Structure 1
Amino acid sequence: MSVQAYNSSLKYETFSYLPPMTPEQVRRQVAYTIAQGWNPAVEHTERGTPAHVSYWYMWKLPLFGEQSVDAVMAEIEACHRAYPDHLVRYVAYDNYAQSQGLSFVVYR
């Protein structure tokens, strides 16, 4: 028995190995992070450059204290409209652990 290479597109986070999320599934993830008290943020980067692996641009400042899932979803959509050829990811910062609580690519 030999080990086979995984032939697929680049993987960015844990959710990348699952089928793309529906808008409702993204909403539920955003709602979960808000319920945890984490601060949402949106980031983007170019495809096909070395930067896309390690450097992500912030869309705006993190949405500190945001409680509206609709407001966060609107920012994700606005970023995607402004940069349709970029990867767009959602990040939730955990103030208590001082780290990212969750991060996943919404638009590949």
Structure 2
Amino acid sequence: MGESLMDIEVVYAAVDRQVLLTVQVPAGCSVRAALGLSGIAGEFPELDLASCTVGIFGKVVADPEHCLVRAGDRLEIYRPLLADPKEVRRLRAAKAARAKAS
């Protein structure tokens, strides 16, 4: 008898495009292994699947090596948010000025 497979989704949004893949993975597959099987690294070579932060339906997975996926899960690969420190300081100063004026 063959290994049972289940469908999951893997999503990633780069700055310029988004990809949603439907993938069949074996039952008992870890989150990290499912990402590897998805082929998403071929779509985005800059992704480091070994260290990227991932979640299932918006909840961060603390240990993707040992967390098992379930049928129908949507694995989300998160990229770090980048903010210009000068812009953050400018916005904070503008907010403080408005608060002081009122």
TM-score by length of 1: 0.29
If you compute each CA radius of gyration, which structure gives the higher value, 1 or 2? Answer: 2
TM-score by length of 2: 0.30
